[in-house]
Chain A
Amino acid sequence: MKIERTIKYEADRVKGFGDEVSSVPGCEKLQACIQCGTCSGVCPLSIYMDYSPRQVMAMVRSDFKNEVLTSHTVWLCASCYQCTVDCPREIRITDIMYELKQRALQEGIYPKKFSIPVLAKEFYKMVYRYGRVSENLLAMTMFLKSSPLEALKMWRLGLGLILRGRFPLTLEKIKRRDELGRMMKVVDQVKINKLHDELKQARQHVAARSQA
């Protein structure tokens, strides 16, 4: 049995994390949470979670960034939107889970043994490259990258799909693939510009402070 301290000190918080998340479009109502537990009560996956969705809301609000981003909960969210529909405070919990997934990927602090982040990344890459997803190819890539042993165990399913004509052996792709690339670049540029603006503001803020 491993005994660990569970107390949290102020230094354990990443101050501003909660505010940051709740400033993202779709996540604004996070601050209105009354911790009633409806989200956990209706979530079909909450039985597997290390922190219930309700706890995740509280943890985000209290800036426990590292604990949230390394938790299993965000990766267990299957995006069925039951919590979002039932929340009495109209918090879009599913969208907050998406936001947390994105942050975990950006910062690379998701639970390492999970293959979901790998799937998400491969999915993203495949769409970027071909414009469409060939599901079986995606699954194979994912298994090869995360757990090759698992991939071997999937041979029966793969064979079954081939036999039933559900495993197209040609790669699905769109014709004007350059269009997607250009569109994504626009999004990246907007983000970079926004980041620059934020940086500029932060610098001005610091400068103003040091003057004062």
Chain B
Amino acid sequence: MTTKYSYFPGCSLKGIGRAYEESLLPVLRALDVELEELEDWNCCGATAYMAIDEVKACVLASRNLAMAEKLGHKELVAPCSACYLVLNKTKHYLQDSPAVRGVIEKALAEVNMTYSGNTPVRHPLDVMIHSIGLDAIKQRVKRPLTGLKVAPYYGCQIVRPYSTFDDQYNPTTMDRLLEAIGCTIVHFPLKTRCCGASLTGTLPEPGLLCARDILAEAITRGADLIATVCPLCQFNLDGYHDKIAKKWGPHRIPTVYFTQLMGLAFGLGERELGLHRGFVPMQPLPAPVPVGVGV
């Protein structure tokens, strides 16, 4: 039976992070999960907005939360780490700060909306591991990615500041998920280190150095590629290779969404999964070993 969730894509998944949405939706569909996009969702209020006005950022987020609650599905899925955090942070403020809650409730009332604070906000990784389960995922695998060495990169905002569905220092949900589809996970000490995405556009050197460190470590650890869970991380690790090369020499290693790898393992096409949208292309997988022949 198909399970339905509300879906908050966020701005990036409609732009630079298109491939995330392109791979997420069919993969979930293959697992009998349907995402219903919030009608008329607005910007979540993320990082840059928080810098202007934290309360307003929460108000922005709360409009989305209110719409999700009205839509009636039990839970809201937010694939972008920044959106995931702001939506959750707003829920925390609603719970902990009566002052902020007062303002949010007033603002929602102005447009005839309410939010009772229910509707959990979940990351697709959490849904895959804890609601769908590794067994169901393994069953869908048509073409295990055997031999593919992956550096699992979680980034910052899905594990911090709130510890929601995984360990804050050594998260393992993506490791287990990728192992289930046949990948080999390399030891990767920078799993949760900041990629610098919120700086690269404005202060290139510090932002790029953060990205370089992650790319360099993944190469050192022998990974074929980096798997990520966030559109901002993906762009930052993938989009600036020429600049990084100019400063610190080439660091070419592809960065893909974990959902793209799942899609490949499920037998979906590379173009269908948006793999052509990356700057550093993923090497073609070796031809699958025909079932029942040799070994």
Contact = CB atoms under 8 A, between A and B. Distances in A.
Contacts of B52: 101-102, 105, 120-121, 123-124
Contacts of B202: 114-116, 118-119, 142, 146
A17 B123 CA distance: 38
Contacts of A81: 156-157, 160-161
A120 B240 CA distance: 21
A177 to B, nearest CB: 9
Interface stretch (B104-112, B114-122, B139-147, B255-263): B104-112
B198 to A, nearest CB: 5
Interface residues of B, number: 65
Contact of A102 (B51, B99, B213): B51
A133 B11 contact: yes
B148 interface: no
Contacts of B160: 80-82, 84-85
A172 interface: yes
Contacts of B135: none
Interface stretch (A50-58, A62-70, A71-79): A71-79
Interface string B45-81: 1011111111110011001000000000000000000
Contact of B196 (A26, A44, A165, A186): A44
A179 B207 CA distance: 35
Interface stretch (B25-33, B36-44, B284-292): B36-44
Interface stretch (A2-10, A32-40, A92-100, A202-210): A92-100
A44 B214 CA distance: 11
A134 B203 contact: no
Q: Which of A95, A114, A115, A127 has the most CB of B within 10 A?
A: A127
Contacts of A114: 202-203
Interface in A106-146: 114-121, 123-124, 127, 131-136, 139, 142, 146
Contacts of A135: 11-12, 15-16
A117 B49 CA distance: 11
A80 B107 contact: no
Given A48-B205, A160-B279, A184-B56, A136 B110 contact: no
Nearest to B194: A80
B171 interface: no
Contacts of A174: 40-42
Given A45-B206, A102-B54, A124-B52, A85 B168 contact: yes
B40 A176 contact: yes
Interface size class of A (residues with CB under 8 A): 35 or more
Contact of B48 (A94, A119, A182): A119
Interface string A155-197: 0110011001111100010111001101111110010000000
Contacts of B207: 78
B49 A124 contact: yes
A51 to B, nearest CB: 15
A186 B279 CA distance: 44
Contact of A183 (B12, B108, B205, B279): B108
Interface of A: 25-26, 44-45, 47-48, 75-76, 78-82, 84-85, 92, 94-95, 98-99, 101-102, 105, 114-121, 123-124, 127, 131-136, 139, 142, 146, 156-157, 160-161, 164-168, 172, 174-176, 179-180, 182-187, 190
Interface of B: 11-12, 14-19, 40-43, 45, 47-56, 59-60, 63, 93, 96-97, 99-100, 102-103, 106-108, 110-111, 156-157, 160-161, 168, 192-194, 196-199, 201-203, 205-207, 210, 213, 239-240, 242, 276-279
